Structure 1
């Protein structure tokens, strides 16, 4: 079949428009250069450790360096904004958390991004539960005994946190709502001083991540009442879950996930999700997570996106009901 020169010129003019109008499709050779993995926290914390564990594995399977870039500040807003405003090419990714994608957007009116609309949810990574801790000065040894005591002395007991609007503060608010008790909130500048105050007997209660809780529970410096997970932790197998203690509404955790900017090409998203899923199945990787008190969180990209949206709505309701204002 013969085509005229005029018809061929018309096809050549049309082809760029077809490419522009079509869906975002990435080069199958992705990645062809180093990938930046933004962590919205300082070095040394759980999110940073998890990012470096994941980055080391991704280096090998992607064939390109994965460079961890710590961008702390404004809660988690600075690092999250960096990724939200980056090109959707798969070369700038984020370790997001319950704080960056659920709590802080509800706490900060001008956070600068929408946790659902401005990101592509790639894969969940892990979840770390909290432990409800009590001072050894309190005459209690269970969650129910705490509730009974708080009802007899409304507003007299207190709990410490890493600051107003932090995850352990919000956990305390959920406890008060679910148990219909009233506690005084004592905010500190970070979890370490808040935990020190509990160990020293200056405060009565605190929710803290299981990994930092273990040595203090084992030494008898504090008393563990319940863990906010669906199953008991191998790090503290003697501590009952909140469901076992009769308070399933207290099931909550610090979760971590893998995100890209909005409109990330589907094939890039799926490639990253597939490789991350394989990494999370490696026994050695799972063992390292367990030593952090974490467990694998497995979902498809679509399921993870729905999970993030539900977490955003859940924490927005908690924050609105409690009239919490971030520090």
Structure 2
């Protein structure tokens, strides 16, 4: 694309690749943004779901696209910060294969238990686990998933031992948690809040440094004594490396304008997602570098690997 044509961007319809299935938070937010961008930029923004490898299949496809701003990627923490440390081989480099555009949202996590488990609080879990190592179990939505790594962080920081039970997804882990087959889990507020509200599950703590607006009465892990504990999932918008900076800057401006729109904020809150913005693409790029190192250390400590 020639320099003089940047002003004409976009010149055709734009594909937003999503590495997760339809109906997920990432997919829903991509569709909210696509609708906004279509109205603002005069071309259709089309969602293309490419699920697999914990979001990394879609990231790999986006990385190979022509870097002209007409193929974008809406992705999450895992393909950029955890999967590179988990998978033996990926067909992209999360730090070099993309031109980061901007942060989009934060998906807060909450730790829950079955009300009949006998665990009354996070401190109660820690104290009982110290007395009886490996007695208590925690579910995750898969080996190396955010839910696994956050519980691994907690057990490491609290110096306790628990038994990890990996599942293939949230619906399975939550069914067994409600049924009493497993004791605790960390998962998104989005997926757990209906069960918390119905009384089927009890919230023990949230994973961020500050309380989430979705569960303001639930204390953070940090508040409860494990200082500095901070975990959750972010979403961000990317283009392939080599995308001209004027296009990246244009998309960043449009993205932040969308995230400041009260109607879009309301729709995102409605699916359990808090707006998270970056001042500019460079700030987002630095954020990814920090996340890569942080989650890499967490993967190492957990011992998780995926062949």
TM range (shorter): over 0.9
After superposition, the C-alpha distances for 1:16-40 in whole angstroms (9 at most, x for unaligned) are: xxx99xxx78622100100000000
- 1:304 corresponds, among 284, 288, 293, to 284
**Distance in 2 (alpha carbons) for counterparts of 1:145 and 1:171:** 18
Q: Check if 1:105 corresponds to 2:101.
A: no
Equivalent of residue 96 in structure 2, options 117, 120, 127? 117
Q: Is 1:290 paired with 2:290?
A: no
Q: Give the equivalent residue in structure 2 for 1:316.
A: 296
Residue 25 to residue 192, structure 1, CA distance change in 2 (3 Å): farther
In the alignment, is the contact (CA less than 8 A) between 1:233 and 1:293 conserved in 2? no
Alignment partners' CA distance in 1, 2:102 and 2:94: 15
Q: Contact 1:35 / 1:66 at 8 angstroms: preserved in 2? A: yes
The answer as to whether partners of 2:19 and 2:50 remain within 8 angstroms in 1 is yes
Counterpart position of 1:264: 243
- Secondary structure class of the residue paired with 1:64: coil
**What is the CA distance between 1:137 and its match in structure 2?**
2.5
Among residues 3, 11, 23, which one is paired with 1:32 in the alignment?
A: 11
Q: Could you tell me how far apart the structure 1 residues matched to 2:203 and 2:4 are?
A: 51
What RMSD, in angstroms, separates the aligned Cα atoms of the two structures? 1.6
Pick aligned residue for 1:200 from 179, 182, 185:
179
Q: Deviations 1:237-277 (Å, cap 9, x if unpaired)?
A: 22112222222433111110000000110000000000000
Q: 1:137 to 1:151 in 2, by over 3 A?
A: same
Paired position in structure 2 for 1:153: 132
1:316 is displaced (CA, Å) by: 1.0
Report what 2:50 is aligned to.
71
Verify the 8 A CA contact 1:26 1:267 in the aligned structure 2.
no
Contact 1:25 1:267 in 2 (8 A): no
Mapped partners of 1:37, 1:218: distance in 2: 34
Partners of 1:322 and 1:209 lie apart in 2 by: 20
Deviation at 1:286, TM superposition (A): 0.8
1:92-133 C-alpha deviation (Å, 9 max, x unpaired) = 000111011111111012111110100011010000111001
Contact 1:229 1:251 (C-alpha < 8 Å) held by counterparts: yes
Q: CA shift at 1:195, angstroms?
A: 0.9
1:127 aligned to which of 106, 117, 122: 106
Runs of 4+ in structure 1 over 4 Å off: none
SS at match of 1:89: coil
Paired position in structure 1 for 2:217: 238
Give the number of the structure whose alpha-carbon radius of gyration is greater.
1
Secondary structure class of the residue paired with 2:10 = coil
TM-score between both structures, scaled by the size of structure 2 = 0.96
Say which of 210, 214, 222 aligns to 2:193.
Answer: 214
Q: In 2 relative to 1, CA 102–212 (structure 1 residues): closer, same or farther, beyond 3 Å?
A: same
Counterpart-to-counterpart distance in 2, 1:25 and 1:301 = 22
> How many pairs align?
306
| 1:42 and 1:48 in contact (8 A); partners too | yes
Unaligned runs of 5+ in 2: none
Cα 1:25–1:248 shift into 2, 3 Å? farther
Partner Cα separation in structure 1 for residue 164 and residue 262 of structure 2: 41
